[in-house]
Amino acid sequence: MLAAHGLTKHFRAGQFRAGGRRVSGRSPARAIHAVDGVDLELHRGQVLAVVGESGSGKSTVARLLAGLIPITDGQVLLDGAAVRLRGRRAFRAYVRRVQMIFQDPFGSLNPVHPVRYTLTRALRLHRRQSTGGTLRGAELEAALTELLERVHLTPAARYVDKFPHELSGGQRQRIAIARALAADPEVLLADEPISMLDVSIRLGILNLLADLRDRLGIAILYITHDIASARYFADRTTVLYAGQVMETGDSESVTQAPLHPYTRLLVASAPDPDDLAGAGAAAVRDRGTGGEPPSLVDPPPGCRFAPRCPYATDVCRTETPELIEVTPGRAAACWGYSTREDRPAVPATEGAST
């Protein structure tokens, strides 16, 4: 449905502090290499997880795919056609097909408007184009009820006149999802949709998204720092580090038998892969995964993970590895899987957490 080839985003680093010093306006322009040459594909009726630590570029990937920020280089394709978002019309038409769900359901819903207003606005905005007339009366009520039922907020009458502050975090996120569904999208981009929710209701939201994937055939991008939830929820998983793809494959293999030394570190930092309570992700945040991600202003040459990698050799520090297909459908950007004579010796499955 949606694909990115060589997706790249460099932000201007005008405000960047180097060694505590603000880089002056007269310094040569420096760029933050937030996303560099990322390839990914979203398929109808499938979930792709993009996993990585904070600052790895996950949200930037989602914002680029949503058309919210301009891309520096690379291409986005929707149903095989190159996406060009010049002008309001083109953007609207795109957004109708590709909708985004944000992390903070309270921040993304206007507190002064009840559910009815939020959903009616979304329905009218997107459905006018397809039906020609403005949705109103019994037809509008039926559409509102259907939307609320799709996100399992039933009976709809109980929720339709509520304000965001009268709803729980999970219910608010369901309204945000309903608003996205009002456009009848083919793709949902979900940027950490459960990370701000109470642990007890996270599973419910993931199950709802899985249900939409299965029943409506929607392609879903699931951005998360929690590799355990990727295993549970996503068909395929792509691991991002310092703006580049380190590994990609079916979620079960990526999380249970990771190929890339970075993925192994991530998995090893999540003590219980079935742990949706987020303890694993918390461990990554609290203890770190050993070492720091590199500067994105001056990314190291070669593999960006090399400075932290226990197996790195000279080739890793000087030449950037391409994604190498290790088995069908599974690839790792690691010289350890190349046929080079001077490749590093990456052990077979060491670090897999089962």
Footprint of ligand ATP on this chain (CB under 6 A)? 11, 32, 34, 52, 54-60, 225, 296
Dmax (CA) of the chain? 72
* Minimum gap (Å) between residue 103 Cβ and ligand ATP: 8
* Minimum gap (Å) between residue 54 Cβ and ligand ATP: 3
| CA–CA separation, 239 and 235 (whole Å) | 13
* Beta carbon nearer to ligand ATP, 52 or 105: 52
Residues 6+ apart with CB under 8 A from 206: 194, 229, 232, 233, 276
* Minimum gap (Å) between residue 17 Cβ and ligand ATP: 12
* Minimum gap (Å) between residue 8 Cβ and ligand ATP: 12
Of the candidates 113, 118, 128, 111, the one whose C-alpha atom is nearest the C-alpha of residue 179 is 118
Listing DSSP states for 177-243 in one string gives HHHHHTT--SEEEEESTTTTS-HHHHHHHHHHHHHHHHHH--EEEEEES-HHHHHHH-SEEEEEETT
* Minimum gap (Å) between residue 49 Cβ and ligand ATP: 13
* Beta carbon nearer to ligand ATP, 167 or 242: 242
* Beta carbon nearer to ligand ATP, 85 or 125: 85
* Minimum gap (Å) between residue 7 Cβ and ligand ATP: 12
* Beta carbon nearer to ligand ATP, 59 or 263: 59
Of the candidates 36, 54, 71, 64, the one whose C-alpha atom is nearest the C-alpha of residue 304 is 36
325 with 297: CB under 8 angstroms? Answer: no
* Beta carbon nearer to ligand ATP, 53 or 186: 53
Q: How many CB atoms lie within 10 A of CB 234?
A: 28
Residues 6+ apart with CB under 8 A from 339: none
* Beta carbon nearer to ligand ATP, 295 or 318: 295
* Minimum gap (Å) between residue 31 Cβ and ligand ATP: 9
* Beta carbon nearer to ligand ATP, 7 or 306: 7
Of the candidates 172, 289, 316, the one whose C-alpha atom is nearest the C-alpha of residue 227 is 289
| CA–CA separation, 241 and 261 (whole Å) | 11
* Beta carbon nearer to ligand ATP, 59 or 118: 59
151 with 179: CB under 8 angstroms? Answer: no
* Minimum gap (Å) between residue 314 Cβ and ligand ATP: 27
| CA–CA separation, 65 and 50 (whole Å) | 13
Question: How many helices (H) and strands (E) in the chain?
Answer: 12, 14
